[in-house]
């Protein structure tokens, strides 16, 4: 157990995959077919379950960061393939007991099977029962890629001529409509990393899947579909009063974030403040933020009141 550097990640993957006897879970934002072929070639024993989660964002496919044909490979080799459009994590879990977690995507350069490989760092560590439960929740909150969904994605790419234009920054609505699972876990990267659109950093819109050419309108449309906003809305909908106060929300966010190590409560409050500031700045009417007493209140606003 300990840190792995660059080619050591590949060597440890070979060891762990060769020793695994029951289950393999891989979570990687980017995924290339060549890397999946390497993973499969290292597996020695029959597996009860093999699960892969990728981001498969529209832009990832266009730019070649991920291969859509990974789905065919998974289907032909007994893997279940899942999608989360907000995914940034890179984790390889073996028999629900050990994992490699770090910066290495499941690509030829990421796991060091290419000549021009990236220099990555990862940690080999054990996985607790509670942590594995959270990983399973992560998969439960993702979308299982089916033949139907795969064909829709292929059709979307073909119909647009594989061009990424201002009007095509995301998958078509018939694909996005599949993505409304209940969100059980959050990562720190699900939150805005600055407290205002006026102070954007280079990566401030990554959690929305946006980069250049954005407008306030495109940011607003993407924001109301992002994980942390939908999670907050669901929290409010589940409460009889449809409201929550700042302190209680902070505790709830802290318990829902599954980063390892856990963020300090000070960082959680900063993330929460960023989130609430964006809701206010983007003028999102369905969530109201006020201060009726000493503590800030966050509440659902009825359509009548919003208008």
Q: What is the pLDDT of residues 60-112, one digit of tens each?
A: 999 999 999 999 999 999 999 999 988 899 999 999 999 999 999 999 999 99
Residue 45 CA to residue 95 CA, distance in Å, equals 12
- Contact criterion met (CB below 8 Å) for 258 and 187: yes
The answer, yes or no, to whether residue 210 has pLDDT greater than 80, is no
Residues of the chain with CATH 3.30.870.10: 2-159
Give the CATH architecture of domain 2-159: 2-Layer Sandwich (3.30)
The answer, yes or no, to whether residue 167 has pLDDT greater than 70, is no
Alpha helices in 173-264 (DSSP H): 173-176, 216-223, 227-237, 246-256
Residue 306: the pLDDT is 56
User: Which whole-number Å values give the CA distances from 83 to 68, 202, 266, in the listed order?
Assistant: 11, 25, 31
The answer, yes or no, to whether residue 35 has pLDDT greater than 70, is yes
Mean pLDDT of 157-171: 69
The answer, yes or no, to whether residue 304 has pLDDT greater than 70, is no
Average pLDDT along the chain: 91
Residue 162: the pLDDT is 57
Q: How would residue 303 be classed by pLDDT, with cut points 50, 70 and 90?
A: low
Mean pLDDT of 166-175: 72
Dihedral sign for Cα 147, 153, 156, 157, please: negative
Mean pLDDT of 271-276: 97
- Contact criterion met (CB below 8 Å) for 300 and 286: yes
Q: How would residue 1 be classed by pLDDT, with cut points 50, 70 and 90?
A: confident
Residue 188 CA to residue 165 CA, distance in Å, equals 29
């Amino acid at each position: 157990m300990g840190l792995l550097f660059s080619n050591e990640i590949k060597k440890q993957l070979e060891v762990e995959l060769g020793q695994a006897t029951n289950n393999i879970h891989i979570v990687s934002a980017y995924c290339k077919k060549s890397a999946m072929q390497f993973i499969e070639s290292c597996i020695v024993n029959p597996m009860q379950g093999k699960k892969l989660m990728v981001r498969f964002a529209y832009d990832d496919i266009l730019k070649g960061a991920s291969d859509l044909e990974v789905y065919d490979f998974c289907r032909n080799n007994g893997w279940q393939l899942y999608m989360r459009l907000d995914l940034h994590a890179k984790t390889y879990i073996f028999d629900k007991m050990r994992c490699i977690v770090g910066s290495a995507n499941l690509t030829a350069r990421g796991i060091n099977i290419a000549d021009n490989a990236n220099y990555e760092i990862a940690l080999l560590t054990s996985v607790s029962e509670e942590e594995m439960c959270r990983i399973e929740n992560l998969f439960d909150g993702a979308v299982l890629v089916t033949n139907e969904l795969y064909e829709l994605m292929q059709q979307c790419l073909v119909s647009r001529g594989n061009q990424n234009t201002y009007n095509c920054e995301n998958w078509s609505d018939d694909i996005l409509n599949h993505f409304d699972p209940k969100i059980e876990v959050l990562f720190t990267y699900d939150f805005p990393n600055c407290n205002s659109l006026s102070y954007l950093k280079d990566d401030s819109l990554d959690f929305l899947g946006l980069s250049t050419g954005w407008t306030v309108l495109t940011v607003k449309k993407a924001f109301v579909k992002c994980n942390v906003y939908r999670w907050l809305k669901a929290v409010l909908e589940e409460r009889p009063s449809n409201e929550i106060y700042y302190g209680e929300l902070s505790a709830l966010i802290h318990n829902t974030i599954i980063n390892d190590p856990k963020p300090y409560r000070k960082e959680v409050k900063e993330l929460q403040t960023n989130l609430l500031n964006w809701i206010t700045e983007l003028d999102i009417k369905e969530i109201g933020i006020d201060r009726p007493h000493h503590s800030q209140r966050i509440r659902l606003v009825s359509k009548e009141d919003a208008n």
